[in-house]
Amino acid sequence: KNDFDVMASFLADIQGRQRLRKVKAEDVKDRSAANIRLSGKDTLDDEADRWAYFFDSGCSSWFDSIKDVTFSSTFCELSPSEARIIVEHWESRERLIASLHLGEEEDPCQRPEVQELFSTAATKLTDVTQRLESLIELEAARSSVGLVFVKLSTRSPKDSKKALARAAASFYRAVAEKEELTGEKIDSNMRWRILSEETTRSVAVSCATDAMELMLDSARVYEDLEYALRGPPALTLQQSETSEGGASLGLNRPSLPLGAPELTEKAWNMSLVVRAWDPRLKPESEFRGICWDGQLTCLSQYFHPLYFPEVLGQRSVIEHDILAMLTKRCAGGSGSAGG
């Protein structure tokens, strides 16, 4: 039987068992439609401003103002088409991994299908990898250990599972060596300190191939690039500038002559950054502060759950140095850094 015959037989069977009652039109209460009462807009009215705020907070906006007191850095162009390759690779990989029947402890990155997907994307990114290689050589020469940290102008690939796997291996090795040296078990706080340090170090690379491997393995990188590619039309942002007194947002887009037609090209404000690795930066020396309108509103250890006894004796020195830097560099507001 074909589908029509099956359905006809099914309906006849129902009607034979029970006579269907006709319902008046005014009594019909059809709730099969989607409930859209709580749905919102796909795009907020101020989405262009939100987009600009997020991407203008990237290091390309504030690097020049503090470059003499931060890591040596060089910016590398990343085109929208190259960003799309990274985004599409991540989405394809997630679909592939979801379709695989993986064991509880199985690493999906070791599956041939996933590795083939990575190789295909890496090949498509040959041009940007070559551009990156020369810049890595430049910045690695400025590092005392010959390493660099490669990130987007927004966020880094520190969530890469490949990097975290390396950190885990280094952590267990470091703990074993320390316990063998001292002859006793180290406490939980020290174990967390070691893990934090190894996790930070796990994203240090010496070549562009390793850097791109982390980029293709990071949800943070995917999220930022996917959002960047959904940027509002360049015209929308230029109109936003005009409405706010012509303040520059620093976005890469063509200038519009008076009376020009509406543009369909998306705004783009994204790049790669190669930063010389400085091994002196340890978990105990890293702090994070939040500023608003040029005022420091809060300050804490970056690794706030950990205890660093050596920091207590230097509290006043640390506080003085941070406030002095804030006064010198951020006087008049921190708008260029997104605050």
* Mean per-residue pLDDT over the chain, rounded: 84
262 contact partners, CB below 8 Å, separation of at least 6: 233, 235
Residue 112 has pLDDT above 80, yes or no: yes
pTM of the predicted protein model: 0.76
214 contact partners, CB below 8 Å, separation of at least 6: 150, 157, 160, 162, 163, 203, 205
| pLDDT tens digits, one per residue of 159-214 | 999 999 999 999 999 999 999 999 999 999 999 999 999 999 999 999 999 999 99
174 contact partners, CB below 8 Å, separation of at least 6: 194, 198
83 contact partners, CB below 8 Å, separation of at least 6: 225, 228, 229, 270
Q: Predicted confidence band at 115 (pLDDT cuts at 50, 70, 90)?
A: very high
CA 113 to centroid of chain Cα atoms:
25
| pLDDT tens digits, one per residue of 39-52 | 766 666 778 888 88
The arithmetic mean of pLDDT across residues 310-339, rounded, is 74
| pLDDT tens digits, one per residue of 46-90 | 788 888 888 888 888 889 888 888 999 999 999 999 999 999 999
Q: What percent of the chain has pLDDT over 90?
A: 50
pLDDT at position 43, please?
A: 63
Question: Where would I find the H helices in 103-218?
Answer: 112-124, 126-140, 161-182, 188-201, 208-215
Q: Give the closest residue to 229 by CA, choosing from 160, 338, 152.
A: 152
The amino acid occupying position 207 is C
Low-confidence winner among 266-270, 300-304, 313-317 (lowest mean pLDDT) = 266-270
Q: What whole-number distance in Å separates Cα of residue 160 and Cα of residue 177?
A: 26
pLDDT at position 187, please?
A: 94
Q: Predicted confidence band at 339 (pLDDT cuts at 50, 70, 90)?
A: very low
Q: Give the closest residue to 209 by CA, choosing from 150, 138, 167.
A: 150
Q: What whole-number distance in Å separates Cα of residue 163 and Cα of residue 213?
A: 10
| pLDDT tens digits, one per residue of 269-289 | 899 999 999 999 899 999 998
- Map out the domains of the chain as residue ranges: 48-100+108-160+203-231+268-281, 283-330
